[in-house]
Structure 1
């Protein structure tokens, strides 16, 4: 793609990087075939190719984002399916991330939109505040007060869980020693929303790793990875979260060493693996960020590296849902399914497995109609294969699919922990197999 940036514009590192990405696009349109919003809407501007044109014009013009640009960029899920499809290697993720930052800096959204986004950006990365908000929302729902809501606020209320699990001791900072001879030492990203909504995921991870001889540390100063604010274009907030994590993990590396930084939410993993790029121009944090990115891995990657995954057959038919951030962002499409098979589960593929379920961080709250369409499409494809459970590797997908299908939706690591001597996942308690 030909570009027309001025030398002054290219002096900005972000614009220079965007121009490099834009020049790799050859207009082929392969991306349209796998873009969820294009499949739903059939609008070229709601495809990666269309958005690339809009972003190019916006950045070259150097003017505030227009209403049209904001509409179509906001509709992008950042599922990154286009990056898997693209024959030219267009790094759409970095381009759309910068476009969102540009929009955030140059465009004034309507008041309600600003309030909703600020509320999400404040609550979701803070587990304590998020838990309190969910409890207050749950009470309002029981009293019928949420029936008075409309639009996106009503969609947010509809996502409120019926109940919250108790906090798990494993989500508090600490060191969880290996059982038997120690084979390794890792840090675990406890996360933010996940530890409130599904604390059993980190608990299963720590149990399993400990049994495999791995010491697990949850550093006291590590928290939200920054992905939620990063994908909302809030550059400073995202970098602040990332710096806190980089500092905490680097301290552990220097103190007692780390073999890996384990992430159990694939959306977070995609962001942590990108810290090196995020801080490429920051002389203070660049080297440490790159080191963290190289150590970061999804729990499935680390378990595969250990090579000890096997278990007693559970006679459970599991549909594996490959989260977009895992299959497209981290290029780990089949590994979790392979581990589940090695552990003794019958694993079936879901038709259209490359298409997003519609969760995408805050997308299901900010774009509820499109999200609901993708959720329904994914649920129908899952039901076609008749599973007894669904496994996935991202908290957003877990919450999105729970209630959309008639079978339990659990994290892959919960099943692996169960197959290798851990307790049966709570959500499978009603199944017939032990």
Structure 2
């Protein structure tokens, strides 16, 4: 359905699109309803949905909307048809969907959703996932696999970043060394599952059942365990920080000590701190953490007044953002001077905001170490971006991304003396990002870590 609202979105032309042969101007913006008038029918087909949109008169309540369109969806034989409708109150991050994958063997569901006691082959599961290029283009979640039935499955070494696995069955599943960062595991059943050596930072286990699950030695950062069942779950030798255990039962787990501050800003359960001095530069799962760095982007600089050069600066920053999203980086670190002038053109600020939202939707943190121009020329714009939740980390001080402790220092900040340094205790490697030199930033040298 389209509306007559004046909301504008970027129009992207892709190969074999029904719009490919039309006279679109690259870089221009088009209203949705105006764009759809240019052709009569288009078809979208991917692993989870097939939709044919036809321009037909609407006879519903939408008829009051000028030029409104209706979308007809029809199931096809040989397709899964599994439908997931989340409980909005307990799982706000999940979305309803209908699976369009091909059915598997004699089942009327795909390999992910077929109910069977058979162990599902890992290669078949991998082959029926959404295409990697589509996952990179998606926001959050990157892939919809809610309600999957994976009992006793072997998923070792899989990369399942940003997947919605709400309500899935992982009983006795081998998830050893799986990359689950930013995935939604709410309401999932992990009884007896092996999660050792997983990367699970910033995932959601809300209302999940983790009874007798093995989470030994994990780096558990920014995880939501709200109302989770943790009886006999093994957390020994795990490192936990910024984790919400509100409504859960950590006292019934192994290796967790319940405190009087569930759901607080800091760790809600203290566990043994081993391997703190491992500076290998990798996460506990053995997979390297991807960080992208840029600086002095000067987004609105025209260079001798030429607008085309301004477009070049914006385009270059867009390439950096697209790259960070494409490689599924944990963070994009900018070490100062986002804009050039004190009064950037409105379209440049808008484009910058859009690009930072893209990073956020792809779970890539944007860390800005304030440079001289950020502090003296565009402080209000930088503050607005921070207020909208588009910036991560403090202006000056320690910040943690996955297993990496990062010391940030913005220009104009007071020197940080060595005895004031309090690096994260559960980080396995450390990084300093300074706008000024070390002597100015620390009144000496960085501490020995």
Please state which band the TM-score falls in when normalised by the shorter chain: under 0.3
TM-score of the superposition, structure 2-length normalised? 0.25
More strand by share: 2
Higher RCO, 1 vs 2 (CA within 8 Å, ≥6 residues apart):
1
TM-score of the superposition, structure 1-length normalised? 0.26
